[in-house]
Every structure is written in structure tokens, then in C-alpha cells.
């Protein structure tokens, strides 16, 4: 029972990180049909931002790092969108290859700037302990990550459903041409989505520094799993991403416990293929009359 509970916490913290990363992906993918392989490097940028800030700011730097990482990663994302991705709208598979090239370059830049060995971000002292729940200890760092994610997802939900900008975003996701006809600047909406999505990856990067060390390939370790969340959740759906992230995180945590970590990835993959037999387009599907 204890073990099951402990794995629940582990699983949920995996889910939390995956969700934060997948949110940006699901909207860039759902709204612009861009498969951004460089998304992992936004995570890395966020993590290195936390690393850079701890020098001058010391122990409390983590709280400052969250908004700064959001802006840094978002800005990199925006530059990428302006320079490259907008040339490739309508060619989703090509965006995948181009952004993968960008991700290689960014990884090498990080290696040249910060060195190839991993670096550590010291957690603030108030994240050292844990909280006892039902006989098991939940690490304060994991709770903190979950809190970041809950706050971010709530903020995104409010943004999408309550703000005029969010309404325009939803309109573009559902029907780009009709939205454009109604006077919505799809370019502006695309840029804003890209900024927010990339920024969230940066925030996820700050969270990840609490779980381990920071290296140039940090992001690529999480990226494929985050993409699987998008595939399972359905494109451009907040609810889908949340449910898929929780499902995949828990599945992985429990399978890892009952067998090896190496088997878990294979099992998760097979489970997803099986899931796609039932729901080929993911949990939530945007209903359209079109064929594809």
C-alpha cells in the first residue's frame, strides 16, 4: 500500500513535468501544425537560466528564475518562429526536421557556453525536507513542481477561456480561415501561442533542476515522452493533455516499479499503440466535417 502510494506521487510528478512541456507542444502542433523538436532546448534554456541566476541571487533565486526562464525561453521561441518556422507553415514534417537541426545547434551552443559536464542547481533550503502523508514522505521539491504545474495550467485555462486573446487562440485552433476572415490576426495569435508555449517549457526546465543535474541534452530526454502525451491527448486540447500526462506518468511509474525502467518505456509504447487502435486521434478530437 505504501509503495503504491509512493509510486503515485512519483508518477504524478513525472506527469506534472510532462504536462508542462506538452502544453506548449499541443498548442503549437494543434494550432500551427508545427512539430517543434527544438522545444526540448527551451527546457534546457530554462534550466540554465536557473543555473545562471543562482550565482548572483543565491538561495532564493528559484522563485526569480521562474518568470525569467519563462521570458528567456519564450523569447528564443519567438525568434525561432519569426526566423524559420513561419516559412514552413503547411509542411509539418519539414518543421520537424528543421527544428531538429535547430535543436542540435542550440545543444552545441549550450555545450560551448556552459561546458559539456552537467551542472547542479542548488535547491533553496525550504525545499529540502518533505511532508508526511499517510506514512510516506513526499519530497518538498516534488510538491513544489506539482504546485508550479497546477498554477500554470490554471493560468492557461483562464487565459484560454476568459481572456479575449485566449478566445482568439481557440478560434484559430478550431478554424484558422474563418478566424482570419473574422478579422483575427492569425500571425499575432501564432506568435503569442509560440511565446507562451516556449515559455512554459522554460518554466518546466526550472522545475526539472530540482530533480537532477542540468546538461545540454536535458530537454531531449523529455521531449519524446511529451510528444506522446500530445498524441494521446489529442491536438490542441488542454483537458486531453492533462489527462494524457497523468495517465502516461502513472503508467510509467507503476510499470517501472513492477519491472525494470528499461521495460517501462517499451510497455508505455505498446500501450499507446493499443490506445490508438481505440482512439486514433487521441482522447479529444476537434470535430470537423473535413476528411483529414
Partner 1 sequence: MSLLLRGPRAAPRRSRRWWLGFGLAMILLLVVAPLALSAFRLSLLSKYLCFAIVALGIDVAWGYGGMLTLGQGVFFGIGGYAMGMYLKLHEAGAGHLPDFMSWSGVEKLPLVWKPFRYAWVALPAAILLPVAVAVGLGYLIFRQRVRGAYFAILCQALAAAFAIWLVGEQGLTGGTNGLTNFHELFGFKLSDPANQRSLYFVVAGTLLGLFLLARALVQSRYGRLLVAVRDGEDRVRFLGYNPLVVKTLAFAFSAALAGLAGALFVPVVGIISPTLVDVVPSLELLIGVAVGGRGTLYGAIIGAVAVNWAKTGLSEHFASGWLYFQGALFVLVIVYAPGGLVGLWRKGRDAVLGRRTSRTDGTDRTGLAVPAVRPETAPARRVELTGAP
Residues that bind partner 1 (CB under 8 A): 29, 33, 35, 84, 87-88, 90-94, 96-98, 100-105, 107-108, 111-112, 175-178, 220, 224-225, 227-228, 230-231, 260-263, 265-266, 268-269, 272-273, 276-277, 280, 286, 288-292
Q: Which of 125/177 has CB closer to partner 1?
A: 177
3-state class (DSSP) for residue 134: coil
Residues 62, 49: Cα–Cα separation, whole Å: 10
Nearer Cβ to partner 1 (31/54): 31
CB of 126 to partner 1, least distance (A): 35
Say how far apart CA 81 and CA 27 lie, in whole Å: 14
Longest dimension (CA), the chain: 58
Closest to partner 1 by CB, 131 vs 178, is 178
Task: Judge contact between 18 and 180, C-beta under 8 A.
Answer: no
φ, ψ dihedrals at 105, nearest 5°: -65, -45
* Closest distance of CB 211 from partner 1, Å: 18
Kindly state the smallest distance separating residue 219's Cβ from partner 1, in Å.
13
Q: Kindly list the distances between the CA atom of residue 200 and the CA atoms of 47, 235, 279, in Å, as whole numbers in the listed order.
A: 12, 17, 28
**Smallest distance from partner 1 to CB 26, Å:** 12
Q: How far is the CB of 267 from partner 1 (least distance, A)?
A: 9
Q: Is 138 exposed, middle or buried (0-12, 13-18, 19+ CB in 10 A)?
A: buried
Amino acid at each position: 500500500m505504501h509503495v503504491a502510494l509512493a509510486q503515485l506521487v512519483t508518477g504524478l510528478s513525472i506527469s506534472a513535468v510532462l504536462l508542462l512541456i506538452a502544453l506548449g507542444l499541443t498548442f503549437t502542433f494543434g494550432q500551427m501544425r508545427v512539430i517543434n523538436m527544438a522545444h526540448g532546448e527551451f527546457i534546457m534554456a530554462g534550466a540554465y537560466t536557473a543555473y545562471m541566476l543562482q550565482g548572483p541571487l543565491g538561495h532564493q533565486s528559484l522563485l526569480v528564475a521562474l518568470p525569467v526562464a519563462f521570458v528567456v525561453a519564450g523569447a528564443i521561441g519567438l525568434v525561432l518562429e519569426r526566423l524559420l518556422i513561419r516559412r514552413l507553415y503547411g509542411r509539418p514534417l519539414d518543421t520537424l526536421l528543421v527544428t531538429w537541426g535547430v535543436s542540435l545547434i542550440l545543444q552545441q551552443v549550450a555545450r560551448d557556453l556552459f561546458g559539456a559536464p552537467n551542472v547542479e542547481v542548488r535547491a533553496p533550503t525550504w525545499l529540502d525536507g518533505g511532508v508526511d502523508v499517510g506514512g510516506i514522505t513526499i519530497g518538498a521539491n516534488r510538491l513544489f513542481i506539482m504546485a508550479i504545474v497546477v498554477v500554470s495550467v490554471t493560468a492557461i485555462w483562464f487565459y484560454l477561456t476568459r481572456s479575449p486573446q485566449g478566445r482568439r487562440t481557440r478560434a484559430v485552433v478550431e478554424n484558422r480561415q474563418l478566424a482570419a476572415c473574422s478579422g483575427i490576426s492569425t500571425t499575432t495569435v501564432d506568435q503569442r501561442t509560440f511565446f507562451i508555449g516556449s515559455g512554459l517549457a522554460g518554466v518546466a526546465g526550472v522545475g526539472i533542476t530540482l530533480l537532477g543535474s542540468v546538461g545540454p541534452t536535458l530537454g531531449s530526454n523529455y521531449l519524446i515522452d511529451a510528444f506522446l502525451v500530445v498524441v494521446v491527448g489529442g491536438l490542441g486540447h488542454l483537458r486531453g493533455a492533462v489527462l494524457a500526462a497523468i495517465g502516461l506518468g502513472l503508467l510509467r511509474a507503476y510499470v517501472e516499479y513492477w519491472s525494470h525502467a528499461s521495460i517501462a518505456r517499451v510497455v508505455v509504447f505498446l500501450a499507446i499503440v493499443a490506445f490508438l487502435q481505440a482512439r486514433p486521434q487521441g482522447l479529444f478530437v476537434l470535430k470537423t466535417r473535413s476528411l483529414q
